[in-house]
C-alpha cells in the first residue's frame, strides 16, 4: 500500500468526521479558524518525504492530526464551559436576526442583542473587510445591527458572564470580497449607552463614521487600511483610551472641550490640522486643560495618512 494513499485517506476521514460532529452540534467552531492551522500541511509534507518506514510515517501523520483535532475540540469545550451563556449566530429565539435578499441580490441583515440591567461593561470586537460603517444612535437593546448591501453575511457571538457581555461580529467569507466592488455594503450599529464599552475594530479599506459622544467608551482600538476615519468622542468617563493604526487615510477626530486630551502621533503626514493642543514634544501634544480636567482622553495614532485633523467641540 502506497503511503500517499494512506496519507490522503486519513485527511479525508478526518475532515468528514469534523463535518459530522459540526452538523450534529457536538462541536461548535468557525471553519475559517482551520486556516490558522495551515503550518500543519508543511509538517505533513515533511513527514511524507522522510526516508523512513511507511508505518513510522503513518504513525507521525496520525499523531499530528490527532493533536490538531484535540486542540480544536479542547478549544470548543473550554469556550462552552467558561461561557455557558454564549449565544452563537441565529440559534436563540430571543435574538432577532433577519436576512432578506431582493431580486438584484441585495442582502439586508438585521439582528438585535437584548440588554440586561446587570450588564455594567460590554466589549465589542468587529472584524470586517471593505464597506461603510456607522455608529450614531443609541438603542434600548445592548446592540442593534443593520447591514445593507450586496453579498456578505455577518456572524455574531455573545458571551455573558456576571456583569459583563462580550460581543464578536465578523464577516463570513470576507476574503472573497476584498477586491469586489459588488461586495461593498453599509453597516449601521446602535449601542446601549448604559454600559462602559471596550471596542476593537479591524477594518480594511473602509469609510468609518463613529459618533461616541453619547457613550461611555473606556477603550477604542481601530486597525484599518486605506480608510476615511471620522470619530467624535464624548466626555463620559474619567479615563478613555483611543488607539488608531491605519494606512494611507483621512483621519478626523473631534474631542470635547470639557475633557483633557493627551495626543501621541507616530505618523507621516502630507497635511495636518491640530486645533486646541499645545506641543509637548515631537509627536506629543496636550490640551491646556489636561491637568485640571476631571475626565481625560488618551489618543495614540500610528499611521501613514494623507490628511489628519483633530478639533475640539
Residue-wise pLDDT for 198-240, tens only, equals 999 998 778 899 999 999 999 999 998 777 899 999 999 999 9
> In this structure, how many other beta carbons lie within 10 angstroms of the beta carbon of residue 129?
24
Does residue 260 contact residue 293 with C-beta atoms inside 8 Å? yes
Number of domain units in the chain: 2
Same domain for 10 and 137, yes or no, is no
Per-residue pLDDT, averaged over 109-127, amounts to: 95
Same domain for 58 and 178, yes or no, is no
Same domain for 212 and 66, yes or no, is no
Same domain for 125 and 152, yes or no, is yes
* Residue-level pLDDT at 192: 98
Same domain for 207 and 298, yes or no, is yes
Same domain for 161 and 24, yes or no, is no
Per-residue pLDDT, averaged over 39-52, amounts to: 67
Cα separation of 185 and 40, whole Å?
A: 35
Domain end (from 82, 117, 141): 82
pLDDT digits (tens, 9 = 90+) for 255-288: 999 999 999 988 766 667 888 899 999 889 999 9
* Residue-level pLDDT at 262: 97
Instruction: Please give the mean pLDDT across all residues of the chain.
Output: 78
Domain end (from 38, 58, 82): 82
Same domain for 112 and 70, yes or no, is no
73 or 246, which is more confident: 246
Same domain for 107 and 130, yes or no, is yes
Same domain for 78 and 102, yes or no, is no
Same domain for 227 and 100, yes or no, is yes
Same domain for 230 and 287, yes or no, is yes
Domain end (from 62, 82, 102): 82
Domain containing 156: what range? Answer: 87-312
Q: SS3 for the chain, per residue?
A: CCHHHHHHHHHHHHHHHHHHHHHCCCCCCCHHHHHHHCHHHHHHHHHHCCCCCHHHHHHHHHHHHHHHHHHHHHHHHHHHHHCCCCEECCCCCCCEEEEEECCCCEEEEEEEECCCCCCCEEEEEEECCCEEEEEEEECCCCEEEEEEEECCEEEEEEEEECCEEEEEEEEECHHHCCCCHHHCEEEEEEECCCCEEEEEEEECCEEEEEECCCCEEEEEEEEECCCEEEEECCCCCCEEEEEEEECCCEEEEEECCCCEEEEEEEEEECCEEECCCEEEECCEEECCCCCCCCCEEEEEEEEEECEEEEEEC
pLDDT digits (tens, 9 = 90+) for 137-184: 999 999 999 998 766 688 999 999 889 999 999 987 654 444 444 456
Same domain for 96 and 32, yes or no, is no
Q: Indicate the pLDDT class of residue 80, thresholds 50, 70 and 90.
A: very low
Amino acid at each position: 500500500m502506497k503511503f500517499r494513499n494512506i496519507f490522503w485517506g486519513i485527511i479525508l476521514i478526518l475532515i468528514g468526521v469534523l463535518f459530522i460532529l459540526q452538523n450534529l452540534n457536538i462541536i461548535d467552531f468557525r471553519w475559517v479558524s482551520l486556516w490558522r492551522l495551515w503550518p500543519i500541511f508543511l509538517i505533513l509534507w515533511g513527514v511524507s518525504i522522510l526516508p523512513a518506514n511507511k508505518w513510522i510515517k503513518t504513525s507521525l501523520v496520525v499523531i499530528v492530526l490527532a493533536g490538531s483535532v484535540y486542540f480544536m475540540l479542547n478549544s470548543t469545550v473550554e469556550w462552552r464551559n467558561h461561557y455557558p451563556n454564549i449565544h452563537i449566530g441565529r440559534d436563540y429565539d430571543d435574538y432577532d436576526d433577519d436576512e432578506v435578499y431582493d431580486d438584484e441580490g441585495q442582502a439586508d441583515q438585521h439582528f438585535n442583542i437584548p440588554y440586561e440591567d446587570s450588564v455594567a461593561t460590554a466589549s465589542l470586537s468587529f472584524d470586517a473587510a471593505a464597506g461603510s460603517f456607522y455608529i450614531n444612535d443609541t438603542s434600548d437593546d445592548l446592540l442593534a445591527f443593520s447591514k445593507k448591501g450586496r453579498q456578505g453575511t455577518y456572524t455574531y457571538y455573545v458571551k455573558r458572564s456576571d456583569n459583563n457581555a462580550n460581543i464578536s461580529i465578523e464577516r463570513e467569507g470576507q476574503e472573497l470580497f476584498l477586491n469586489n466592488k459588488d461586495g461593498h455594503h453599509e453597516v449601521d450599529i446602535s449601542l446601549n449607552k448604559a454600559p462602559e464599552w471596550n471596542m476593537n475594530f479591524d477594518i480594511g479599506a473602509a469609510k468609518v463614521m463613529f459618533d461616541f459622544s453619547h457613550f461611555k467608551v473606556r477603550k477604542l482600538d481601530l486597525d484599518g487600511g486605506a480608510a476615511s476615519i471620522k470619530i467624535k468622542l464624548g466626555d463620559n468617563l474619567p479615563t478613555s483610551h483611543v488607539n488608531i493604526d491605519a494606512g494611507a487615510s483621512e483621519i478626523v477626530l473631534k474631542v470635547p472641550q470639557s475633557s483633557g486630551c493627551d495626543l501621541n502621533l507616530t505618523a507621516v503626514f502630507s497635511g495636518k490640522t491640530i486645533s486646541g493642543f499645545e506641543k509637548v514634544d515631537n509627536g506629543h501634544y496636550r490640551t491646556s486643560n489636561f491637568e485640571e480636567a476631571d475626565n481625560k482622553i488618551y489618543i495614540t495614532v500610528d499611521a501613514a495618512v494623507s490628511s489628519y485633523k483633530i478639533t475640539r467641540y
